[in-house]
Chains A and B, each alone.
Chain A
Amino acid sequence: MTTPLVEMKDVSIAFGGVQAVDNVSISLHAGEVVGLLGHNGAGKSTLIKMLSGAYKMDSGEIFIEGNKATIQTPRDAREYNIETIYQTLALADNLDAASNLFLGRELTTGMGFVDDDRMEAETRKIMARLNPNFKKLKEPVSALSGGQRQSVAIARAVYFNAKILIMDEPTAALGVHETAMVAELIQELKKQGLGIFLISHDTREMMELCDRVAVMKNGQMVGTERVEDVTEDDILSMIILGKNPKAAA
Chain B
Amino acid sequence: MSEAHEPAAPPRKSIIQSLEIDTRMLGMIGAFLLVCIVFNILTDGRFLTPRNIFNLTIQTVSVAIMATGMVFVIVTRNIDLSVGAILAATSALMAMTQVRWLPELFEIGHWAIPWIAVGVGVLLGALIGAFNGWLIGYQGIPAFIVTLGGFLVWRNVGWYQTAGQTIGPLDKTFMTFGGINGTLGGTTSWVLGIIAVIVAVILIFKSRSTKTKHGFPVKPLWAEASLAGITTVSILGFIAILTNYAVPERVVARDPSKYGCEIAEGCNAVYGLPISVLLLIAITGIMTIIAKRTRFGRYIFATGGNPDAAELSGINTRMLTVKIFALMGVLCAIAAVVASSRLQNHSNDLGTLDELRVIAAAVIGGTALSGGIGTIYGAILGALIMQSLQSGMAMVGVDAPLQNIVVGGVLVVAVWLDIQYRKRTGAK
Query: How far, in angstroms, from A78 to B288 measured CA to CA in the complex?
Result: 30
In the assembled complex, how far is the CB of residue B140 from the closest CB belonging to chain A, in whole angstroms? Answer: 16
Find A104's partner among B304, B308, B313, B372 (CB 8 Å cutoff): B313
**Interface contact B293-A104, CB-CB below 8 Å:** no
Kindly list chain B residues whose C-beta atoms are within 8 Å of the C-beta of A133: 3
- Residue in B closest to A141 when the chains form the complex, CB atoms: B305
CA distance A168 to B281 in the complex (A): 47
Residues of A in contact, count (CB < 8 Å):
36
- Write out the residue numbers on chain B whose beta carbons fall within 8 Å of the beta carbon of A84: 312
Q: Which residue of B lies closest to A115 (CB)?
A: B293
Q: Mark A52-73, 1 if CB is under 8 A from B, else 0.
A: 1010000000000000000001
Tell me the residues in window 277-298 of chain B with beta carbons closer than 8 Å to chain A beta carbons. 289, 293-295, 298
CB distance from B129 to the nearest CB of A (A): 23
**CA of A108 to CA of B298, assembled, Å:** 12
Q: How far is the CA of A93 from the CA of B368 in the complex (A)?
A: 14
Question: Does B268 belong to the interface (CB within 8 Å)?
Answer: no
- The reply to whether A93 and B305 form a contact with Cβ atoms under 8 Å apart is yes
The size of the chain B interface, using a CB distance under 8 A, is 32
A135 surroundings in chain B (CB, below 8 A) = 3
User: Contacts A91-B309, A94-B428, A143-B426 known; A103 to B372 CB distance under 8 Å?
Assistant: no
B314/A74 in contact, CB under 8 A: yes
Taking CB atoms, residues of chain B closer than 8 Å to A54 are 311-312
Q: Using CB atoms, name the residue of chain B closest to A137.
A: B216
Q: Any chain B CB within 8 A of the CB of A75?
A: yes
Contact B302 A92 (CB under 8 A): yes
Report Cα–Cα, A239/B310, bound state, in Å. 33
* Contacts known (A95-B301, A103-B302, A120-B214); A114 close to B294, Cβ less than 8 A: yes
Q: Which among A89, A99, A143 is the interface contact of B302 at CB below 8 angstroms?
A: A99
In the bound complex, do residue B293 and residue A95 qualify as a contact, i.e. CB atoms below 8 Å apart?
no
Nearest Cβ on chain B to A40's Cβ, whole angstroms: 19
Contact A93 B210 (CB under 8 A): no
Chain B residue nearest to A153 (CB atoms) is B309
B315 within 8 Å of A (CB atoms): yes
| Nearest residue, chain A, Cβ from B311 | A74
CA distance A113 to B301 in the complex (A): 16
Complex: A84 Cα to B311 Cα, angstroms: 13
Q: Least Cβ distance of A146 to chain B in Å?
A: 10
Main SS class of interface, B: helix
Does A120 lie within 8 Å of B216, measured CB to CB? yes
* Per-position 1/0 for A73-104, Cβ under 8 A of B: 11100100000101011111111000110011
Asked whether A140 is an interface residue with its Cβ less than 8 Å from the other chain, the reply is yes
Which of A88, A90, A99, A143 counts the most B-chain CB atoms under 10 A from its CB?
A90
- Contacts A93-B372, A103-B315; A114 near B301 (Cβ below 8 A): no
**Would A74 and B312 count as touching, CB distance under 8 A?**
yes
Residues of A within 8 A of B427 (CB): 140
A100→B313 CA distance, assembly (Å)? 9
Contact for A113 among B1, B210, B211, B293, CB less than 8 A: B293
Given A74-B314, A75-B314, A94-B373, A117-B210 contact (CB < 8 Å): yes
List chain A residues, Cβ under 8 A from B161: none
Q: Is A145 located at the chain interface by the 8 A CB criterion?
A: yes
In the A-B complex, the 4 residue pairs with the smallest Cβ-Cβ separation, listed nearest first, are A94-B305, A92-B305, A104-B313, A94-B372
22 contacts between A and B (CB under 8 A): A54-B312, A84-B312, A86-B312, A90-B308, A92-B372, A93-B372, A94-B301, A94-B304, A94-B305, A95-B301, A103-B302, A103-B310, A104-B310, A113-B289, A113-B294, A114-B293, A114-B294, A117-B210, A117-B214, A117-B216, A133-B3, A142-B428
Other 5 A-B pairs with CB < 8 A, given A92-B301, A103-B309, A105-B314: A92-B303, A99-B302, A106-B298, A113-B293, A120-B216
